[in-house]
C-alpha cells in the first residue's frame, strides 16, 4: 500500500513538474505608426519570462528595417518590456518570432496606423511567422488565451482539482465551482479596469497558500476539518477565488487589452477560462468514474491530496523567498 502511494505521488509530481515547465505566458508585440512619411514605427515588445526553459523569444524584422533602442528595457514580474523605433513599413511586411516554435506560448501582435486602422494577430508555436498584410485576428483570440492560461496555469488547475476532490455531492460541487467562478471574475474585471491593483509576487504566494490550505483540509478526517469548509465550502471557494482572479489578471497586465475592444476582450478571456475550467472538471469526472470502477478512487484521492500539499508547500516557500530577496 505504501509503495503504491509513493508511486502515485512521484508520478503526479513528475507530471505537474512537466506542466510547470510549460507555464503559459503570452508575449505581446505592439507596432504603432508614428510617421507615415518615412514609415516610422514605435515598437513595444513585452517578452514573457518563461521559467524552467532556455527558450528565448526574439522578434525578427525585415532585413531592410532599421531598429534602434528608444528606452532601456524594463523588467516586470512576468515580462521584460522593450521599446524600439523602426524605420520601415512594418505594416506591410513579414514578421516572425524566433524561438516561438520551441515554446508553449503565444505572441499577440497589434498594429496601429495613423489612419486609425487597427489589426491584431496571434502567432503560435506551429505558425511563428505571418504577413501583416493579411487580415488580423479579432478579439476572439483572447478566448483562446483564456483557455490556455487556465489549462497551463498549474496552480489554478490544482485548486479546481482540490475542489473536485473535496466535494462529493454534484449539486454542492456546482455551487462551489460557481462561487469560485463569480469571485475570480469580479477581481479579474476590477484589476483589468485598474480599480484594484496588487503586486503579482504577494498574490502568487497567497495563491500557493490557498492550495496548501485546501490540500490540508483534504488529508484531514471529515470530523477534523474546519466548520467553514464542512458547512459552507462555497464561501472558501469564493474567498480564494478573489485571489485567483488577481492571478488571472496578471496574464493580461503584461500583454494588455485593446482599448477599443476592452469589454469584449475581457469577456472572451474570462469565458475562455471558464471553458478550460469545465474541461478540467469533465476530465476529472471521467477519471473518478474509472477509478471507482476499479476500486482505486479512495487511494488515488489520498495520494493526490498529499501531492498537492507537497507542491503547494514548495510554491509557498519559493514564492515567499523571492519576495524577501532570497
pLDDT in tens, 98-150: 998 888 788 888 888 888 777 778 888 888 888 877 665 656 677 877 887 78
Phi, psi angles (nearest 5°) of residue 81 = -105, 125
Tell me, what's the pLDDT at 258? 66
Which runs of consecutive H residues, i.e. helices, occur in the chain? 2-21, 141-152, 154-166, 170-192, 200-219, 227-231, 233-255, 262-294, 297-324
Strand pairing report for 129-131 and 27-35: unpaired
CB 44 within 8 A of CB 82: yes
Residues 162-175: what's their mean pLDDT? 86
| Residue indicated by cell numbers 501531492 | 307
pLDDT at 191 over 60: yes
Candidate ranges 8-22, 68-82, 175-189; pick with highest mean pLDDT: 175-189
Task: Tell me the per-residue pLDDT of 242-300, one tens digit each, with 9 for 90 and over.
Answer: 988 888 777 666 556 666 677 777 888 888 888 888 888 898 888 888 888 888 877 78
pLDDT at 83 over 90: yes
Tell me, what's the pLDDT at 1? 42
Strand pairing report for 94-98 and 129-131: antiparallel
Q: In what order do the strands lie in the sheet with 40-48?
A: 66-75, 79-87, 40-48, 27-35, 107-112, 118-123
Listed residue (1, 323, 312) closest to 156, CA to CA: 312
Strand pairing report for 107-112 and 27-35: parallel
Task: Tell me the per-residue pLDDT of 25-62, one tens digit each, with 9 for 90 and over.
Answer: 778 898 898 887 778 899 999 888 766 567 889 999 88
In whole angstroms, give the CA distance from residue 210 to residue 233.
Answer: 13
In whole angstroms, give the CA distance from residue 265 to residue 122.
Answer: 14
> How many residues belong to the chain?
326
Tell me, what's the pLDDT at 247? 80
pLDDT at 77 over 80: no
pLDDT band with cut points at 50, 70 and 90 for residue 167: confident
Share of the chain above pLDDT 70, in %: 83
In whole angstroms, give the CA distance from residue 247 to residue 189.
Answer: 12
What SS3 class is residue 2? helix
What SS3 class is residue 64? coil
Please report the sign of the dihedral spanned by the C-alpha atoms of residue 245, residue 247, residue 248, residue 251.
positive
Tell me, what's the pLDDT at 183? 92
CB 107 within 8 A of CB 50: no
Tell me, what's the pLDDT at 319? 82
Task: Tell me the per-residue pLDDT of 4-30, one tens digit each, with 9 for 90 and over.
Answer: 444 444 444 444 444 443 355 778 898
Q: Which DSSP letter does residue 137 get?
A: P
Higher per-residue confidence, 273 vs 226: 273
Tell me, what's the pLDDT at 254? 58
Residue 211: HSE in the Cβ half-sphere, 13 Å Cα cutoff: 28
Amino acid at each position: 500500500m505504501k509503495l503504491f502511494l509513493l508511486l502515485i505521488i512521484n508520478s503526479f509530481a513528475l507530471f505537474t513538474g512537466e506542466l510547470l515547465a510549460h507555464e503559459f505566458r503570452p508575449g505581446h508585440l505592439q507596432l504603432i505608426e508614428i510617421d507615415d512619411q518615412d514609415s516610422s514605427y514605435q515598437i513595444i515588445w513585452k517578452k514573457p519570462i518563461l521559467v524552467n526553459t532556455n527558450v528565448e523569444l526574439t522578434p525578427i524584422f525585415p532585413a531592410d528595417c532599421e531598429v534602434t533602442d528608444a528606452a532601456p528595457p524594463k523588467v516586470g514580474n512576468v515580462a521584460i518590456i522593450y521599446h524600439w523605433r523602426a524605420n520601415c513599413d512594418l505594416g506591410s511586411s513579414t514578421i516572425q518570432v524566433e524561438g516561438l516554435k520551441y515554446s508553449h506560448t503565444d505572441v499577440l501582435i497589434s498594429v496601429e496606423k495613423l489612419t486609425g486602422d487597427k489589426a491584431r494577430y496571434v502567432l503560435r508555436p506551429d505558425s511563428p511567422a505571418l504577413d501583416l498584410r493579411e487580415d488580423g485576428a479579432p478579439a476572439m483570440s483572447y478566448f483562446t488565451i483564456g483557455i490556455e492560461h487556465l489549462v497551463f496555469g498549474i496552480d489554478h488547475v490544482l485548486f479546481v482539482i482540490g475542489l473536485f476532490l473535496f466535494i462529493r455531492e454534484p449539486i454542492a460541487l456546482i455551487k462551489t465551482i460557481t462561487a469560485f467562478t463569480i469571485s475570480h471574475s469580479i477581481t479579474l474585471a476590477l484589476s483589468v479596469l485598474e480599480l484594484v491593483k496588487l503586486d503579482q509576487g504577494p498574490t502568487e504566494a497567497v495563491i500557493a497558500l490557498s492550495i496548501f490550505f485546501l490540500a490540508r483540509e483534504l488529508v484531514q478526517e471529515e470530523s477534523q476539518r474546519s466548520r467553514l469548509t464542512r458547512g459552507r465550502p462555497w464561501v472558501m471557494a469564493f474567498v480564494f477565488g478573489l485571489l485567483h482572479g488577481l492571478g488571472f489578471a496578471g496574464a493580461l497586465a503584461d500583454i494588455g487589452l485593446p482599448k477599443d475592444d476592452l469589454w469584449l476582450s475581457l469577456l472572451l478571456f474570462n469565458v475562455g477560462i471558464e471553458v478550460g475550467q469545465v474541461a478540467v472538471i469533465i476530465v476529472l469526472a471521467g477519471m473518478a468514474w474509472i477509478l471507482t470502477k476499479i476500486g482505486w478512487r479512495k487511494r488515488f484521492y489520498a495520494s493526490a491530496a498529499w501531492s498537492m500539499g507537497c507542491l503547494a508547500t514548495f510554491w509557498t516557500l519559493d514564492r515567499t523567498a523571492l519576495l524577501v530577496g532570497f
